[in-house]
């Protein structure tokens, strides 16, 4: 039994994801392959970084996570294999692993170079199929990731700056929207720890959340915590501050988009 998750920006209109699965099953016929999502916005490394970081621990230890959000495919960018808390991550060296690398419990971090685990013919445009899928299948088969290439120091891989929200002097938190989900909920990069640690805030606390020209007072516990069609803020299931509309679509209602700033005031 081995589990491989796929996180890509390929969408599901095409056969690309299906071909990756074919390659995996050719090497590891008993793999259980799970689509984490293929709807990362095209080339959005930040969104992918939050998605894998907040999601991987729902899978059992030993799971292999393939992340194929890879604007630099075919260029000289490297490919990484990471072992962390007994999970495995195979991804381009483009910052998509930043939040995981910040966890500082790295067992191994390797620059993938051993082409004996690649497909025989590697296209210039589809490393997901020709490198990441076969490498992931071998790792799920038990291959030690140190067989994939030399160790690389975390200082030498690409990390994204300012991914997280930050607290400024007066206690205010400044973050931004990093994802908008199917329901139109706005997911921020303000995690519950920063929020509660900084403000000792609870549902009862009089904090204010500012987004565009709107002010939301206090945190709700559920989407149903306010009147219909009223904006609310809550700690979402990801563990991050989320802005929603009871029975509505917050992205449409607030005309909000990714990267819009979100501020939390004491």
Q: Does 32 bind a copy of itself (CB under 8 A)?
A: yes
- As given in the structure block, the two tokens for residue 251 are 């992205």
Binding region for a copy of itself (CB under 8 A) out of 8-16, 88-96, 142-150, 158-166: 8-16
| Interatomic CA distance for residues 45 and 32, integer angstroms | 25
The only residue of 114, 160, 223, 253 in contact with a copy of itself, by rule CB under 8 A: 223
Identify the residue among 46, 63, 67, 110 touching a copy of itself (CB under 8 A).
63
* Residue 53 binds a copy of itself (CB under 8 A): no
How far is the C-alpha of 35 from the C-alpha of 133, rounded, in Å? 13
Pick between residue 109 and residue 218 the one whose CB is nearest to a copy of itself: 218
- 95: tokens are 């910052």
String marking each residue 119-148 x if it binds a copy of itself according to CB under 8 A: ----xxxx--xx------------------
Binding mask 247-266 for a copy of itself (x = CB under 8 A): x-------------------
Collapsing DSSP to helix, strand or coil, 98 comes out as helix
The footprint of a copy of itself on residues 102-121 (CB under 8 A) is none
The site map against a copy of itself for 163-202 (x = CB under 8 A) is: ----------------x-xxx-------------------
| Both tokens assigned to 214 | 């709107």
Is 153 a binding residue for a copy of itself by CB under 8 A? The answer is no
Structure letter (DSSP) for residue 56: G
DSSP codes, 108-165 = EEEE---GGGS-SS--SS-HIIIIIHHHHHHHHTT--GGGSS-B--GGGS---SS-S-
Rounded Cα–Cα distance for residues 183 and 114 (Å): 43
Q: Give the C-alpha separation, 137 to 126, whole Å.
A: 16
As to burial, measured by CB atoms within 10 angstroms (0-12 exposed, 13-18 middle, 19+ buried), residue 62 is middle
Identity of the residue, 37 or 265, whose beta carbon is nearer to a copy of itself in the bound complex: 37
Residues forming the site for a copy of itself (CB under 8 A): 1, 3, 5, 7, 10-19, 21-23, 25-26, 29-30, 32-39, 42-43, 51, 55, 58-60, 63, 71-75, 123-126, 129-130, 179, 181-183, 221-224, 234, 236-237, 247
């Amino acid at each position: 039994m081995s589990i491989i998750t796929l996180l890509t920006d390929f969408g599901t209109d095409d056969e690309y994801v299906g071909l990756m699965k074919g390659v995996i099953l050719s090497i590891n016929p008993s793999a259980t392959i799970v689509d984490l999502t293929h709807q990362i916005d095209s080339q959005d490394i930040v969104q992918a970084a939050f998605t894998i970081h907040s999601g991987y621990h729902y899978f059992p230890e030993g799971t292999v996570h393939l992340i194929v959000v890879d604007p630099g495919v075919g260029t000289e960018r490297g490919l990484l294999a990471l072992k962390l808390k007994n999970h495995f991550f195979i991804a381009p060296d483009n910052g998509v692993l930043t939040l995981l690398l910040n966890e500082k419990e790295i067992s191994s971090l390797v620059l993938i170079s051993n082409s004996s685990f690649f497909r025989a013919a590697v296209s210039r445009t589809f490393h997901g199929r020709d490198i990441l899928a076969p490498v992931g299948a071998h790792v799920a088969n038990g291959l030690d990731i140190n067989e994939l290439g030399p160790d690389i120091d975390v200082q030498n891989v690409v990390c994204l700056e300012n991914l997280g929200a930050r607290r400024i002097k007066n206690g205010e938190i400044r973050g931004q929207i990093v994802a908008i989900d199917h329901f139109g909920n706005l997911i921020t990069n303000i995690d519950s720890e920063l929020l509660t640690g900084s403000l000792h805030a609870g549902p009862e606390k009089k904090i204010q959340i500012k987004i565009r020209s709107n002010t939301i007072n206090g945190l709700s516990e559920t989407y149903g915590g306010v009147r219909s069609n009223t904006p609310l803020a809550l700690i979402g299931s990801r563990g991050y501050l989320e802005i929603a509309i009871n029975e509505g679509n917050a992205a449409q209602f607030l005309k909000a988009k990714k990267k819009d700033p979100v501020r939390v005031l004491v």
